[in-house]
Structure 1
Amino acid sequence: MNTAAIGWDRTILELKMYFREKEAVFFSFVFPILMLSMFATIFGDQFGNEEQSGVNAARFFLPGMVAAGVMLTSFQSMALSVAVERDDGTLKRLRSTPMPPVAYFLGKVGLVAVTSLAQFVLLILIAKVGFGVQLPTSAGNWVTFLWVFLLGVATGTVLGIAYSSMASSSRSVGAIVIAPTLVLQFISGVYFAFTDLPDWLKQVASVFPLKWIAQGMRSVFFPDDWQTQEMAGVWEHGRTALVLAVWLVAGLLLCARTFRWTKRGTT
């Protein structure tokens, strides 16, 4: 079998193992869907009718939930799962088999791609059917969604794999992964309007990928005149692509330099 075929088999296996872990499915897959439904229900009256304001509560929170979903299913899931597999010896056993190492990473990428896409489909179905959100009709908007989504998934995946090496054991990985993930969600325009944050906090958020994924998604799902509420007054597609690409390259370099098949102190 060639590497691509083995990678596909690994993807199927990864998906089966993923959906057996109820906690992982909830926090990385179901959580953004529940948050969108909750925010749309709680804040629905504050946004009024979409025909008058242009954006109802569900439409307002949808881009942030999509961005959070990308981050959770890529960065957080990878950091947690790879650290656990390293700690329990799974990676060491896999490394000793004839399976090409690339096939392992292809399986992880396939897992993230499938779960992220499935989560997005559920999000927009709930937004459209449950809360009457007007979805984009322009092909250009969907092209923007595609490249932001793919860059976000790729960046989050490689950064998650690289970040997994920071954990000394599987028992400590949760704290060092979930805490910064939550902080980034709060300062990147996921749960609050980005314009409501202090300027210095906006600058901090702008260093990290999540802010740019969320901004890219807002450019897809918000009316075009809402771009005046961004920091630069425009959607900044070029800068979004640049920042995500830089983080993607940085993540690949970190993976190459820091990835370990065994726990620290073992061979």
Structure 2
Amino acid sequence: MTTTVAAPPTQAAPPRLPRAWTLGLHRGALELKQFFRQREQVVFTFAFPVVFLFLFASIFKDDVSGAGITASQLYVPAMMAAGIMSTSFQSLGISIAIERDEKVLRRLRGTPMPPAAYFLGKIWLVLVTGALETAVLLLVGTTLYDVDLPSSAARWFDFAWIFVLGLTACALLGIAISSVPKSGKSATSVVVLPFLVLQFISGVYIAIDTIPDWMLTVGALFPLKWMCQGLRGVFLPESAQVLEQAGGWEFGRVALVLGAWCVGGLVLCLLTFRWKNRRDG
């Protein structure tokens, strides 16, 4: 009589974890939900550049000599650039430093979630908030200060790549600078001070033709100056080129500098980013 030996039951394969891209989308949705639940942060983020635009446009509202525009129109694209940097560089630089200080990053690092998913979530956050901030400022500029929307597809394309490259470069710099503060409490001071200085020497609050050349040279080392210049080229008439340091919009150089900062910012992130504070070892 032949004895039949039953085969051992096959073990089911462990469930496959979602890919980093999928987890990044979920992480981005969580980041956005947390952001919009904090009403004070939402109001401050979106109202701050609008209030400054209103103040400066109300104080300096005369025609700009030889440029064919008013001073208030000159401020609109500059404030849009500052708004993009605010929702990326400033937001990430402060929030990541606080999350590191509160051990949030350390706990996330101990989970199976790929590190890329965390950063993808942050990118989704700054992409949505940056787009909303820009839309609000553009709405205010077109309705209150007679700023004209681009009339050609080429100018809309210029706007798109300036927005994407500028947002990416500033977001990467925000991630990099988040490792500088020694604690979450000092993050605001460490991040806001250089951002405030850059706004003054990059043509946000003061017209380019009135800023000393050496300050413009320093400002030209960073992306904000080129974002302002590129957006002025998108939304202002050609006659306003006379106000620029080089007498033109220089879209090629704008793309080159912003692209270089995207690469440089990524290198800085890889070299400096930490999941825990220095005092934690």
Does TM, normalized by the shorter one, top 0.5?
yes
Moved more, 94-103 or 224-233: 224-233
- Given that 1:86 and 1:92 are in contact with CA atoms closer than 8 Å, whether structure 2 keeps it comes out as yes
Q: Which amino acid aligns with 2:149?
A: L
- What is the deviation of 1:146? 0.7
Q: If you compute each CA radius of gyration, which structure gives the higher value, 1 or 2? A: 2
Q: Which residue in the other structure is 2:9 paired with?
A: none
Q: Which residue in the other structure is 1:7 paired with?
A: 24
Q: Which residue in the other structure is 1:67 paired with?
A: 81
Alignment of 1:49-198 (within 5 A): 54-198=68-212
User: Residues of 2 paired with 1:218 and 1:97: CA distance?
Assistant: 45
- What is the deviation of 1:53? 6.9
Alignment match of 1:29 (pick from 46, 54, 64): 46
Alignment match of 1:241 (pick from 251, 255, 261): 255
Equivalent position SS for 1:170: coil
- What is the deviation of 1:109? 0.4
Query: 1:194-225 CA deviation, whole Å, 9 max, x = no partner?
Result: 11011111111111111011111111111112
- Given that 2:147 and 2:236 are in contact with CA atoms closer than 8 Å, whether structure 1 keeps it comes out as no
Q: Which amino acid aligns with 2:38?
A: E
List alignment gaps of at least 5 residues for structure 1.
Answer: none
Query: 1:166-190 CA deviation, whole Å, 9 max, x = no partner?
Result: 1100111111111111010011000
Equivalent position SS for 2:142: helix
Q: Which amino acid aligns with 1:47?
A: D
> Relative to structure 1, is the Cα distance of residues 127 and 27 closer, same or farther in structure 2, using a 3 angstrom cutoff?
same
Equivalent position SS for 2:186: helix
- Given that 2:67 and 2:239 are in contact with CA atoms closer than 8 Å, whether structure 1 keeps it comes out as no
Q: Which residue in the other structure is 2:276 paired with?
A: 262
Moved more, 245-254 or 22-31: 22-31
Point out 4+ residue stretches in structure 1 off by more than 4 angstroms. none
Q: Which residue in the other structure is 1:47 paired with?
A: 63
User: Residues of 2 paired with 1:201 and 1:43: CA distance?
Assistant: 22
Query: 1:117-171 CA deviation, whole Å, 9 max, x = no partner?
Result: 0111111111222333222212111111111110000000011001100110011
Query: 1:84-123 CA deviation, whole Å, 9 max, x = no partner?
Result: 0000011011111121111100000000000000111111
Q: Which amino acid aligns with 1:39?
A: F
TM-score, length-scaled by structure 2: 0.88
Alignment match of 1:19 (pick from 22, 36, 44): 36
Q: Give 1 or 2: higher helix fraction.
A: 1
Identity between Structure 1 and Structure 2 (%): 49
List alignment gaps of at least 5 residues for structure 2.
Answer: 1-17
- What is the deviation of 1:71? 0.7
> Relative to structure 1, is the Cα distance of residues 185 and 10 closer, same or farther in structure 2, using a 3 angstrom cutoff?
same
Q: Which amino acid aligns with 2:50?
A: I
- What is the deviation of 1:193? 0.5
- What is the deviation of 1:250? 1.1
